[in-house]
Amino acid sequence: MSQPRIKRCVGKYEVGRTIGEGTFAKVKFARNSETGEPVALKILDKEKVLKHKMAEQIKREIATMKLIRHPNVVRLYEVIGSKTKIFIVLEFVTGGEPFDKIVNHGRMREDEARRYFQQLINAVDYCHSRGVYHRDLKPENLLLDAYDNLKVSDFGLSALSQQVREDGLLHTTCGTPNYAAPEVLNDRGYDGATADLWSCGVILFVLLAGYLPFDDFNLMNLYKKISVAEFTCPPWLSFSAMKLITRILDPNPMTRITIPEILQDEWFKKDYKPPVFEEKVDTNLDDVEAVFKDSEEHHVTEKREEQPTTMNAFELISMSKGLNLGNLFDAEQGFKRETRFTSKCPANEIIHKIEEAAKPLGFDMRLENVKAGRKGNLNVATECGWISLWGNDEFHTI
């Protein structure tokens, strides 16, 4: 028999399976019960966030994503909170990661990699124009939608332009070492835009080559390779692709190619399609502050409901003793005489005749909820005065 299903709701969202999990957050599939739209629900434990002093980082991530409305960036719909949890409602992206394609099929063709790289540069250029620097660009933070379009996600390490110090640079060392720019690793301050661009170059190399340009088990050796851009392009790359990668992976941020220059590059421009997006952006951050408040008026309702047990046709039939097939398989039960028949007569007529036959035997019989199923007439079975009626969509007991 099927077990009862527990339905969990957070406000208007019905929460389903887990689709991702990190140190401080869990991401679940959810559905907007009002519109039916699927979403990704990023769930954070409020106590953990406050304990590890991550409140400002979470606020920054939400504020960052609210500033961005671009077709190649995962969209944030809203942020809500309960007494113990913070819920970030995000666009549900169904196509997996570009990295999965590399793992399963190896390196990409240049035209395929170029299309993803063009969309990545479009997204990064838009973010930079809004004063937002990602700082952790890598294949794992890139997703694909149902139409195979790239979406940048996970702004947990992003920085806003307000965090730039008096020297005009950022100073927090963060990100994944293999994708981090030399100036980020040397801890002397860096420009967020040129650092993001280096990461884009590493991503392009991985898409085209199928492996990392900088890799070493020893972290110090890895840093040395990155600091002098010690890498070799594979021989199957076209000259124009090699040239672009070399200009991006320039260890000197002052001479590194810029995004406007990339947009004019011969290899990049092939089949290029500018992005189309809406300019209107919601910059209201009231809900961001509200989720950290203890006032009940700012809390969303969390509830669990037990759904009715579902029963398929075979489980339903097995409840009828008249349809017990045990005698066919169990020799020890002995032989039991049974008579079965079919009739074209209406169900009411059959019941009437059964009642007439049962009265002389002392049975007091009555039929409840007699009606034909919407897909056809009911069938009837009898056994020692116990009668079951079943049809395509109805079940009755006398």
Domain ranges (residues) in the chain: 6-92, 98-273, 313-397
Structure tokens given for 146: 């149902």
The predicted-structure confidence for 266-312, as pLDDT tens digits, reads as follows 999 999 988 887 666 556 666 666 666 665 555 666 666 555 555 56
**Among 152-156, 166-170, 184-188, where is mean pLDDT lowest?**
166-170
The answer to whether the pTM exceeds 0.85 is no
Higher-pLDDT residue of 385 and 180 is 180
Residue 217 reports pLDDT greater than 70: yes
Could you tell me the fold of the domain covering 98-273?
A: Transferase(Phosphotransferase); domain 1 (1.10.510)
Beta-carbon contacts of 246 under 8 Å, excluding residues fewer than 6 positions away, are 233
Residue 155 has pLDDT above 50, yes or no: yes
pLDDT at 161: 39
Please say whether the beta carbons of 174 and 198 come within 8 A.
Answer: no
The Cα 48–Cα 241 span in angstroms is 45
- Grade residue 26 by pLDDT with cuts at 50, 70 and 90: confident
Per the annotation, does 42 bind a ligand?
Answer: yes
Q: Which pLDDT score, from 0 to 100, does residue 55 have?
A: 77
Say what the pLDDT of residue 368 is. 52
Q: What is the pLDDT of residue 299?
A: 64
What pLDDT score was predicted for residue 128? 87
Q: Which of the residue ranges 5-19, 129-143, 324-338 would you say has the lowest mean pLDDT? A: 324-338
136: annotated active-site residue: yes
Predicted confidence (pLDDT) at residue 176 exceeds the cutoff of 80: no
**136 pLDDT more than 70:** yes
Q: How confident is the model at residue 395 (pLDDT cuts 50, 70, 90)?
A: very low
pLDDT tops 50 at residue 173: no
Domain covering 6-92 in this structure, CATH number: 3.30.200.20
For residues 128 and 327, the model is more confident at 128
Q: What is the mean pLDDT of residues 239-250?
A: 96
Please tell me which residue in 125, 136, 154, 265 is annotated as part of the active site: 136
Rounded Cα distance between 88 and 108, Å, is 33
Structure tokens at 72: 């190649």
**Mean pLDDT estimate for the chain:** 76
CB 10, CB 41: distance < 8 Å: yes
> How buried is residue 114: exposed, middle or buried, by Cβ count under 10 Å (0-12/13-18/19+)?
buried
* Rounded average pLDDT over 389-395: 47
Q: What is the pLDDT of residues 30-67, one digit of tens each?
A: 999 889 999 988 888 888 877 777 777 777 777 777 77
Q: Are 6-92 and 98-273 the same fold in CATH?
A: no
pLDDT above 90 (res 201): yes
